[in-house]
Amino acid sequence: MTQLWPAPVASGAVDATVPVPGSKSITNRALVLSALADGPSTLRRPLRSRDTELMATALRALGTRIDDGPDESWLVTPGALSGPAEVDCGLAGTVMRFLPPVAALAEGRVHFDGDPRARERPLDTVLNALRALGADVSGDALPFDLHGTGKLAGGEVTIDASASSQFVSGLLLSAARFEQGVTVTHAGAPVPSLPHIDMTVSMLRDAGVEVETGENVWRVAPGAIRALDLEIEPDLSNATPFLAAAAVTGGSVTVPGWPRRTDQAGDAIRDILARMGAEVRLDDTGLTVTGPAELAPLDIDLHDVGELAPTVAALAALAAGRSQLRGIAHLRGHETDRLAALERELTGLGGAVEQTDDGLLIDARPLTGGTWLSYADHRMATAGAILGLKVPGVRVEDIATTSKTIPDFPGMWSAMLEARI
């Protein structure tokens, strides 16, 4: 077991302003589009975390130039995509699912691998789709090889994306460079996290790509991808633990720069916290959440915003009554089996949690301290930190895993708590 981090207990109501780094989802989509664009791009305020650095390193290995620019921007200059190249996916779903279609456009062999847990994550959907579109792929999961010829025919493909919306987004992001573009049809249970596909479509259109959408069908026409000059929004999902701190302590936290219109799934936290009794205000200063005297339980379908489930589960465990989280069976295939992990860890602190076919039942009861395992999952780690605000003695294993999407979560957490003094 890695070193345990003593989760700080809030001595009172948290009162802080917490600037949040850029969106991982937007940053990694922008990196892919910039690498395939028809000229140099500038990405301002990108997230610099393990997942985005892995994406940048992989694109550099394939021939893209990515330089540091003013004010921590990234200047991205496309180059001829070629192998041989090695891609380390780490535990980043966006790298392991967005990069294979890019690598299929390269000339030469590209080898993909990642962390041990990454080898367990489903990839056959995107790899079989690439085979159907004309790619030469060896393997059905990490590690695997792509043997490119510098082009890809593209065309029509039917997939089952019920395990992850990333399968759809990964194909769409590179499709304008396929000779025939692509038409992706989903056949299966509903696609989870649809806002992430909406984000992909919106960013493609902003880059001048022609995209048509229908019910479970997406078509990208072949053509040029316009260079980007983009300021990355704050990562709204990464902001949720800090807003949750206000909710559980009866305090007030402001996240500046919260967009009034966004495709980020994390924006759903506004409605979730309001349903649990918090006061939520969005104005020119940002999003401010003020916590209630007591959190209300809720019954909620998180199918489209499953990434918020660990935060919501932690809030539910500290609420008054029974909560039900539904629509999140797909979380069993994330960085870890998040449903099993949440059940195990909350039960270990004295909670009453039951897995259902598609989610969790959580009966709030007094919790006690103990070790909270993260399972190399950044959102499990931040859920432990939320609980630790109210439960003395919570020790989070591997808090450093939060660097996957937040460069210095422990430092930001401490600064938030110190701001009220």
Of 376, 380, 378, 407, which is closest to residue 117 (Cα–Cα)? 376
Smallest Cα–Cα separation from 374: which of 410, 341, 343, 418?
341
Residue pair 163/123 in contact by the 8 Å Cβ criterion: no
Q: Is 25 annotated as a binding residue?
A: yes
Using a 10 angstrom Cβ sphere, with 0-12 exposed, 13-18 middle and 19 or more buried, the burial of residue 48 is: middle
Q: Is 366 exposed, middle or buried (0-12, 13-18, 19+ CB in 10 A)?
A: exposed
Q: Is 93 annotated as a binding residue?
A: yes
**CA torsion, ordered 86, 375, 380, 32, to nearest 10 deg:** 10
Q: Which residue has the tokens 């395992």?
A: 373
169 is in an annotated binding site: no
Instruction: Name the phi and psi angles at 391, rounded to 5.
Output: -115, 105
Strands, DSSP E only, in 140-256?
A: 144-149, 155-159, 182-186, 211-214, 217-220, 229-231, 252-255
3-state SS record for 50-79 = HHHHHHHHHHHHCCCEEEECHHHCEEEECC
Tokens of 401: 């895993």
- Is 121 annotated to bind a ligand? Reply is yes
**Edge-to-edge strands of the sheet including 279-283?**
15-17, 252-255, 286-290, 279-283
Asked about 307 being catalytic, the answer comes back as yes
The answer to the question of whether 404 is labelled as a binding residue is yes
Has 390 been labeled as part of a binding site? no
- Residue 166 marked in a binding site: yes
What are the beta bridge partners of residue 372? 396
Alpha-carbon gap, residue 412 to 409, rounded angstroms: 5
414 among the known binding-site residues?
no
Side chain identity, residue 9: V
- Residue 372: other Cβ atoms inside 10 A: 28
DSSP labels for 345-374? HHHHTT-EEEE-SSSEEEE------EEE--
Q: Would you say 344 is a known binding-site residue?
A: no
CA distance 191 to 160: 8
Is 219 labelled as part of a ligand binding site? no
29 is in an annotated binding site: yes
- Please pick, among 307, 335, 343, 397, the residue that the annotation labels catalytic: 307
- Find out whether 420 is annotated in a ligand binding site: no
Q: Point out the annotated binding site for 3-phosphoshikimate.
A: 24-25, 29, 164-166, 193, 307, 334
Q: Point out the annotated binding site for phosphoenolpyruvate.
A: 24, 93, 121, 166, 338, 379, 404
Q: Catalytic residues, which ones?
A: 307
Q: Point out the annotated binding site.
A: 24-25, 29, 93, 121, 164-166, 193, 307, 334, 338, 379, 404
